[in-house]
Structure 1
Amino acid sequence: MRGVNGRFALALAAATLVASVACIAAPAQATDPQPDADFLFVGSFHMNNPGRDVHNTHADDVLSAKRQREIAEVARLIARFKPTKIMVEADTTSQAKLDQSFAQSCQGKRPLTRNETEQLGFRIACDQKLKGVVAVDWNDMGPIKDEASVDFPAAIERHGQQAQYERDKAIGKAVNDVDQHTLDTGTIGDMLLRLNSPEWLRANAQAYFRIGLYGTEEDAIGRNWDMLWYGRNLTIFNNIVRRTEPGDRVLVLYGAGHGNWLRQLATDSGKYRVEDTQRWLKDDAPTQ
């Protein structure tokens, strides 16, 4: 037994020596990166009713006099952030066309369309004397080449998950019904306050969690769909970072469903001081 104990003691001493040398050789721990830009995300409903989501809020005509007054007020509130760059939900390949439309609208030669990119983004950028807005969207399949691998409605049928899907749709409908009621009875500002509230963002995040469970371990279609969604948001965020310079005050105007991930990525990156959106959507928010 003494020989075994001796070998154990020798091995332990050697391991301790290696660990000590490693500690001496290791460089001093790097400090966390310090934020060098400000980040304000404002999630919006799609004002032109494209109808591409599972649950869609139907917007009345945002070009009506009433809605235009409300949008102008929201733009005034957000503009107090004094953005140096406004990032919008437009594909990066459309930047030249976006620049042309912005210049024409800002010069009064072209009316704003119903899209929130123009109603808020163009309006604020022109008011702040910016050169335009910045396209940062990406909506491709990426490394997922087979669309069938993300077709979760088909997986629901294959695996008899219709009852689960109906329960999930009922939850989503209940959230959307409150959204619709807020828009129908309130102002554009009321709607944006709801879409950027912790309660709405929590419900939205849970919806993606539920999608991730469709299919099975072997046929993980829901997981694949979530991977595609998360990958899209990471790509968008990378586009935002690559277009940010130290000292920038970045305003991101996007569909509200992107709010959880883009805010989280901005916070976790260490690059940004992430602003409280609701604070800037209220009239009592302090100016810069």
Structure 2
Amino acid sequence: MNNTTALSVHHLKKTFRTSSNRNEVLKDVNIVLEKGVVAILGSNGAGKTTFIKSCTDLLDYEEGKIEYFGKDLQTMSKEEKNRTFALLSEGSRNIYYKLTPWENIKYFAAVRGIPFNAVSSQSKELLNELGLYDKRNQLVENLSRGMQQKVAIICALSMNTPVVFLDEPTLGLDIESAFGLSSFLSSPEITSNRLIIMTSHDFNFIERTARQIFKLQDGVMKRKEDTVNFDNSFILKILHPDIDKLQAARYEILERHDLYCTIRLLTTALLLGKEIDRLNQKGHEVTSVEIEGENLKDFYLN
């Protein structure tokens, strides 16, 4: 293992037992990850959450080894764990609704034994990037579901740990917010010194965001080739389009309707966000994106 390996999992096994049943969820999971955004796919019950809980010391496992930067998880102190990884749990109440976003960040820093002045600057940047700085002193219970999810994501990222787990981060987010989160998570400022491991059922979000993609199936981890640097054909739906301007810019128009049109865009997942920003800045409101041809659905189903 080299010193750039953030997380290494070898021969991980986990079985759930009852008096009448034995369910071997993780049979032989192996994965070695460095920095960047990594996505894990899998059907409900495939073991994605079990894998994440095992990696974050929330669940015991029978066999295998989990290492962070070469150190065995089972020998790490509580302080080492707090400074190494953070978790956004799926569907759980990850934050306190009777506190403000700012108070939540302070609370979770204190619980981890991290001085607030060590995370305050990063927290302000995250609040700004996700459009919540003006809401920082409002009670979380008064924010929308999407804003609450953003606060939970900020609390996970603001601890500035080198490894972050995001279990279904797009829950509660509308299309625009999901696009913003995708651009944010894949930006060099976030990923240059950090490993982000996420699960999601939003295939388009994963294609736009993740550098590496894995599928957890039949208790083992299968890897898809890197996606971020390969050209993909994207189908964009644009509301109230100016057809003349789109044609002048040499966009390939597929369908025309009174209220919207669809265009085909050939680009990489890494550059897609910039292309969408460019269209929006020119008054073309992008409302949805689909990936054409062989995509995650094919990888997921095969």
Structure with greater strand percent: 2
Structure index of larger Rg: 1
Higher RCO (CA < 8 A, seq sep 6+): 1
Structure with greater helix percent: 1
